[in-house]
Structure 1
């Protein structure tokens, strides 16, 4: 099933996801380059809500650009398999080797505003990420390592604490949603 079909079949969790789903699908009808950064207005990213085996903690990275504890993930960069992208980015950003999806289905969707910033010496204009999140799992006992060009620390946080340590107000709302959904998935 291609990404368009996955997004069409995705059942939104709340009004934010309902609205974002409609916009993302409309963008897919409008632009043919959403899976690359060539589209400087909007492009796909994949994120991971990376939990421990007990689903009581989440692994966060201290991201250098945003100066905040954050989930892991990255740009599709031409890859239309966003689960693969989420897994690859989770491994690259944390050093973990044994990361697995709890489900191959989309966990959540978000359109995220990205303020202008400098990356690798180049100006990046304000744009949006059409983000697809996957619920992944790893063992707390596995060693982690930072990715110095992207983050400066990695740590496991109790679910509520993960929200508290983020300094990005808009992301706190996303993380709260992800935690709520985790509770729903545990029933």
Structure 2
């Protein structure tokens, strides 16, 4: 099943997800290649809400650009299997060797605004991340490493602590809190 079909079949958790799901599906019909960063207005990204097997901890990285503790994830960069993108990014950004999906299904849907910033010495204009989040699992005893060009820390938090560690109010209140609310109803 292709990604557009997966997204059409996804059942939104709340009004934010319903609106963002509709916007992403609308973007799929446009002329831009949403799976490439060449689409400067909006492009596909995948995020990982990485939890331990007991669902008592969430893995976060301190992202240098946002100056905040945040979930793991990144750009599709041509890949259309966003679960694979989430798995790759979680491993690259944390050093985890054994990260796996709790489910292959989309866990959450978000359209995220990205302010203009400097990356690798070049200006990147403000744009949208059309983001799909996947629930992944890893052992909190596995060794972690930072990815210095992207983050300066990686650590486990309690689910509530992960929300509080973020310095981005909208993300903290509307995304991370939602991910934790969904996590409470997900079987261990």
TM over 0.5: yes
Shift of 1:32: 3.8
Mind listing any 5+ residue stretches in structure 2 that lack a counterpart?
A: none
RMSD: 0.8
Indicate whether 1:2 and 2:2 are aligned.
yes
SS at match of 1:186: coil
SS at match of 1:19: helix
SS at match of 1:160: helix
Aligned to 1:33: 33
Mind listing any 5+ residue stretches in structure 1 that lack a counterpart?
A: none
Shift of 1:31: 3.0
Deviations 1:116-146 (A, max 9, x none): 0000000000000000000000001100000
TM-score (ref. length: structure 1): 0.98
Indicate whether 1:175 and 2:188 are aligned.
no
- 5 Å-filtered alignment, 1:147-186, equals 147-172=147-172, 173-186=174-187
- Provide the aligned length of Structure 1 versus Structure 2: 187
Aligned to 1:145: 145
SS at match of 2:39: coil
Question: Counterparts of 2:32 and 2:79 in 1: how far apart (Å)?
Answer: 13
- 5 Å-filtered alignment, 1:1-187, equals 1-172=1-172, 173-186=174-187
Question: Counterparts of 1:178 and 1:108 in 2: how far apart (Å)?
Answer: 7
Deviations 1:66-124 (A, max 9, x none): 00000000000000000000000000000001000000000000000000000000000
SS at match of 1:167: coil
Moved over 2 A (4+): none
Shift of 1:20: 0.5
Question: Counterparts of 2:10 and 2:58 in 1: how far apart (Å)?
Answer: 23
Shift of 1:11: 0.4
